[in-house]
Amino acid sequence: MFSGSLRDNIDLLHMYPDSRVWLALQRVQLASYARSLPAGLHSRLKEGGDGLIFGQRQLLSLARAVLRQPALMLPDEATSAVDWHTHEAVQAAVREAFPRSTILAVAHRLETVLDFHQVIVMDRGDIVEKGDVKDLMRIPNGTLARALTRKSASLTEAQP
């Protein structure tokens, strides 16, 4: 984020009409936030996104990608330090807003990869499994299957 308008932070070169910027903001669930600002798209942001919470900065970065529709997108831990609501907003945008993009995601949260077509599971820098998520989930004693089982067990234990 840099010092400038919200719109400039999403579309610096003004290559897209406002309607497309608003659509990108809707896709990442920030349109209502933008509408609440005194000058809407023309509201000023501070250098580094000061005044925005981390999740909002992540979603604004994602709005840039939604607007541009890249052929290849490489999000690196896009949801690692965000609250659950923001995590869900990122996941929904990635699932729905990039129909023609190839997405290579670096992720530690298992929920991040469950909708992907293919995954590579790594352990200490080595590839230990790769393939269709559903196929990997069915491998008895497989790395992904074990991780999902542990995650499910820990969620079950945490419930009252």
For residue 64, give both structure tokens. 């840039």
Task: Please check whether residue 66 is in contact with residue 26, taking contact to mean a CB–CB distance below 8 angstroms.
Answer: no
pLDDT-above-70 percentage for the chain: 95
**Tens of pLDDT along 126-140?**
999 999 999 999 998
Q: Give me the residue spans of the domains in the chain.
A: 4-116
Confidence band of 5 (pLDDT split at 50, 70, 90): very high
**Tens of pLDDT along 90-125?**
888 888 999 999 988 888 778 778 888 899 999 999
Angle at 116 between CA 124 and CA 31, to 5 degrees: 110
Task: Please check whether residue 5 is in contact with residue 42, taking contact to mean a CB–CB distance below 8 angstroms.
Answer: yes
d(CA 10, CA 16): 10
Average pLDDT over residues 6-35: 96
Q: Does domain 4-116 have CATH number 3.60.130.10?
A: no
Distances in Å between the Cα of 145 and the Cα atoms of 8, 104, 152 are 44, 21, 10
Closest CA to 60 of 35, 99, 34: 34
Where is average pLDDT lowest: 21-35, 104-118, 128-142, 144-158? 144-158
Asked whether residue 154 carries a pLDDT value surpassing 70, the answer given is no
